[in-house]
Amino acid sequence: MTHDRPENPYSIDATMDATQEHVADELPPPPHAAMSERPLAQYQVHPAARYFRRGPWENAATVVIAVGVVMLMQPFSMFLYGWSFATLLFGTAMFLVVSHFVD
C-alpha cells in the first residue's frame, strides 16, 4: 500500500526514506482516528478546576500589584508605605503561581 507523500519539505513524511515509508504503511491506524468519535477513556475534571481558572486569578493578581504600587507612591500614610513592598511581592508571587493555572 503506497500513499502520496506531501511535497512540503518541512513535513516529517517528506524526509522518510523507502524503508521508513514501508514501515509506516504497515502500522495499524490509531484506535480513534477521527475527531468526531468519542475518546476511549472517560476524562473527569476535578471539582476545584472551575474555581482555579487563569483569567480571573491573573486579573486579581494584577489588581494586587497595582494596589501595591499605589501604596508605594501615596504620600499620606507611613503604614501603607511600609506594607507596599510586601503587597507588591505577594501580587508578583500570586501572578507567577496563577499563570500556571488552566485556561
> Which amino acid, residue 95?
F
What's the pLDDT at 57?
A: 95
Contact 36, 86 (CB under 8 A): no
What count of residues does the chain have?
103
* Claim: this prediction has a pTM higher than 0.75: no
Is there a contact between 81 and 74 (Cβ–Cβ < 8 Å)? Answer: yes
Number of H helices, E strands in the chain: 3, 0
CA dist 95 and 66 (Å) reads 12
Predicted pLDDT of residue 46: 77
The burial class, CB within 10 Å (0-12 / 13-18 / 19+), for 68 is: buried
Considering the chain, what percentage of its residues have pLDDT values greater than 90?
A: 46
**In the predicted model, what is the mean pLDDT of residues 72-85?**
97
Average pLDDT over every residue of 9-14:
62
pLDDT in tens, 16-61: 778 887 887 787 766 655 666 666 666 677 778 888 889 999 999 9
Q: Which residues face 53 on adjacent strands? A: 102
Q: What per-residue confidence (pLDDT) applies to 92?
A: 98
